[in-house]
Amino acid sequence: MLPSAVQQVATLAEGFQIAPPVVAGVVVEMPKLGTLDAGEAASLAGLAPIARQSGRWTGRSFIRAGRAGLRKALYMPALVAMRFHRQLVDAGKPAKVAIAAIMRKLIVLARQMRSRPLHVDSP
C-alpha cells in the first residue's frame, strides 16, 4: 500500500529541509518517482544532458523537454544549495550547468527516498 500524498510530502520535506510546496510539486509532477531509475527520473524531469554530436563534431550539451513545472519548482532550492556547495563553479563550470546538476541530484535523491524510505535525523 502506497503512503498518502500528504505523508510523502511530509517525509520528503523533512528529509530535504525544503519547503513543503516545493516537495508537493515534485510529488504531483512525478507520482511514480519511486518506481523509476535515476536516469529515467532525470529524463522525465528534463534534466538529463542531451549531447549534440555529428561525426567528429561535438557541440554543447543542453537540457530540454520533460516537465517544465518540476524544473521551475526545483530551481530556487538548487540556487540556494549552490550558494553553499560551489565545487562545480569553482572548477570552472558555468553557473547554469551547476544549477542543472544540483536539480538533477535533488530528483535522484527524491527518487531514492520514495523507493526506500529513509529516516533522516534532524540536526
Q: What is the pLDDT of residue 111?
A: 80
Weakest-pLDDT range from 12-16, 43-47, 62-66, 80-84: 12-16
The H or E element containing residue 33 is none
pLDDT single digits (tens) 51-82:
777 778 777 777 777 778 888 888 888 888 88
Its pTM stands at: 0.70
Query: What pLDDT is recorded for position 8?
Result: 66
Query: Residue 109, class by beta-carbon neighbours within 10 Å (0-12 exposed, 13-18 middle, 19+ buried)?
Result: middle
Confidence at residue 1, expressed as pLDDT on a 0 to 100 scale:
36
Query: What's the angle, vertex CA 94, arms to CA 33 and CA 50, rounded to 5?
Result: 45
Give dist(CA 110, CA 112) in Å, integer.
Answer: 5
